[in-house]
Amino acid sequence: MDQAKRFHFYTRVDLVGNMNFIGSRKIFYGISGTMLAFSVVSFFIFGLSLGADFTGDAILIGTFKDRDVSSDEVRAAFEKEGIGVDSLDIRDGRNLYLRARFLSEESHQHLLRILGTFDGFDEQSFVSRGPTIGMQLRRNALTAILVALAAIILYIAWAFRHVSRPVSSWIYGLVAITALIHDITIPTGLFSFLRIEIDTLFVSALLTILGFSVHDTIVVFDRVRENLKKAEGTKKFADIVEASVRETFTRSVNTSLTTILALVAIYFFGGASTHNLALALIVGILVGTYSSIFIASPLLVTIEQWKRK
């Protein structure tokens, strides 16, 4: 065996040689259970910090013509009247960009009266999205996730329709959905705990996580299907699943690692608008890779053993 082959061999043994994926599944279940419990407790204690996309918002743009005005002056005037704003920026002392929660027309006029105390203020545009639009976006986001989950379980059940033993084809789909719920619950729980706003970009991240995670899970399941055909009943199902996970382990880790490295670069060096998106994807892909290897495949064995008993 030449040096390159020996290095590859020992590297592979170091990664998976001493691991018992199926035999240690209770440990992995415990780790996932702890993370899920943390996420659920966070939901009940902190809830979700919904962003303006889901609660409604208002954006006002205008110009101070007569003199330069500082952000501190405007904020002080708003605070005196008990008005809060999410963001307020004045460029070159004249150009105002203001963002706040949904404002009724009465509140809008009140805002203009305050800004009018700074002589020469000219409103250029005002856009307000009400709570009704936010509710519609929430419904659409939930619908998108549920439709994606339903489509995934139907597709997996169809793709594995020729695999009926020792577990039915629909079990593969059910296990994949269980892993996917695991994969989106944990990032959502983390955002809840950190009080990071949930916006439409976060929903996009969840849908991306669903696609990435189910892709990883199907790769392992497909290897299980191939090894079942080769074994033709000569091996235990647990041994077949163990061998399948070992054969796909390095590929799964390498695929996820390359994606995460790119996302880490976006997280640290990208713009503020992509910061939370990158964080959600990093956490989701890490959790998704973990669930594909340590949760989804062992669950097949757990269900098979439960059915035999």
Q: Position 86: which residue type?
A: D
- Higher local confidence (pLDDT), 103 or 115: 115
Q: What is the pLDDT, as a whole number, of residue 12?
A: 41
- Higher local confidence (pLDDT), 177 or 54: 177
What mean pLDDT is predicted for residues 167-190?
87
Q: Measured between alpha carbons, how far is 168 from 225 in angstroms, rounded to an integer?
A: 12
| Topology alike, domains 18-51+133-308 and 57-129 | no
Q: What is the pLDDT, as a whole number, of residue 280?
A: 93
- Higher local confidence (pLDDT), 187 or 82: 187
Q: What is the pLDDT, as a whole number, of residue 14?
A: 44
Query: Residue 245: is its pLDDT beyond 70?
Result: yes
pTM: 0.74
Q: What is the pLDDT, as a whole number, of residue 10?
A: 38
DSSP codes joined into one string, 92-159: TTTEEEEEEE---HHHHHHHHHHHHTSTTEEEEEEEEE-HHHHHHHHHHHHHHHHHHHHHHHHHHHHH
Query: Residue 29: is its pLDDT beyond 90?
Result: yes
- Higher local confidence (pLDDT), 120 or 39: 39
Q: What is the pLDDT, as a whole number, of residue 263?
A: 93
Torsion of CA 144, 172, 23, 32, to 10 degrees: 10
Torsion of CA 68, 70, 73, 76, to 10 degrees: 150
Query: Residue 250: is its pLDDT beyond 50?
Result: yes
Query: Residue 51: is its pLDDT beyond 80?
Result: no
Q: 81-90, 203-212, 290-299: lowest mean pLDDT where? A: 81-90
Domain boundaries, the chain: 18-51+133-308, 57-129
Q: Measured between alpha carbons, how far is 92 from 69 in angstroms, rounded to an integer?
A: 9
CATH number of 18-51+133-308: 1.20.1640.10
Query: Residue 16: is its pLDDT beyond 70?
Result: no
Confidence class of residue 17 from pLDDT cuts 50, 70 and 90?
low
- 212-239 pLDDT, tens digit per residue, is 888 888 888 888 888 887 777 677 888 8
Q: Which CATH number fits domain 57-129: 3.30.70.3400, 3.20.20.70, 3.30.70.20, 2.60.40.10?
A: 3.30.70.3400
